[in-house]
Amino acid sequence: MQDEITISKLLGATQLEMAILLGINASQWSMYETGDRNLPTDAYELMSKMLEHVQNKNNKALKVHELSTQQQDKTKETLEKLLKENDYQKQTIERKINKIKKKQAFVVARFQLLDYLDQHTHKKEEHPELLKRMKDKAEEKAAKYDEAVLMAHEIKQLVLQVEEKLIKAKQEELNKSLNTDH
């Protein structure tokens, strides 16, 4: 079943809004739209003027242009926000990657120190608890900052770089369309 096009729909108003605008009650308007009743003369004349204005192509073109400009401005603003958010996320992920790399370097140095102390000194007999704690902490950090975590962050970084390119391409596309419209 196809929706029938009513005068209310043509004017972009609900039945209640039309009734209020025309100074009649909702049931009068509803019966007019179904063909069961005529409108009072002053309400009919006002409705005719409204229809004529809405259906005038010049008015439509002006409103569509205004709406289009508003949408383009909103799109431009949205793209700028997305680009700022992307930049923030890229900076955040860069800091995380650098932190992981520093922690990994620390862990490697700690394991090398523990290896030296284990093989070349008598410190393992003098401070066994200290060396055990150092080893446990190194293993804990090694697990927390392993290559898989680093790789996941590097992939996120690549995704953010691609996202940035897409956003900039959309901005360029929008700017071109704005320049051709004017």
**Higher pLDDT, residue 54 or 67:** 54
The whole model's pTM is what? 0.58
Q: Is the pLDDT of residue 128 over 80?
A: yes
Q: What is the pLDDT of residue 182?
A: 53
Confidence of residue 64 (pLDDT cuts 50, 70, 90): low
Confidence of residue 68 (pLDDT cuts 50, 70, 90): confident
CB atoms within 10 A of CB 178: 13
Q: Is the pLDDT of residue 109 over 70?
A: yes
Cα–Cα distance measured from residue 15 to residue 24, given in angstroms and rounded to the nearest whole number:
11
- Residue 146 DSSP code: -
The mean predicted confidence, pLDDT, of the chain is 86
Q: Is the pLDDT of residue 73 over 70?
A: yes
Q: Is the pLDDT of residue 150 over 90?
A: yes
Q: Is the pLDDT of residue 1 over 60?
A: no
Of all residues in the chain, the percent with pLDDT exceeding 70 is 90
Confidence of residue 51 (pLDDT cuts 50, 70, 90): confident
Where do the domains of the chain lie? 7-55, 65-181
Burial class (CB in 10 A: 0-12, 13-18, 19+), 29: buried
pLDDT tens digit string along 21-40? 999 998 999 899 888 889 89
Distance of alpha carbon 80 from the chain centroid = 11
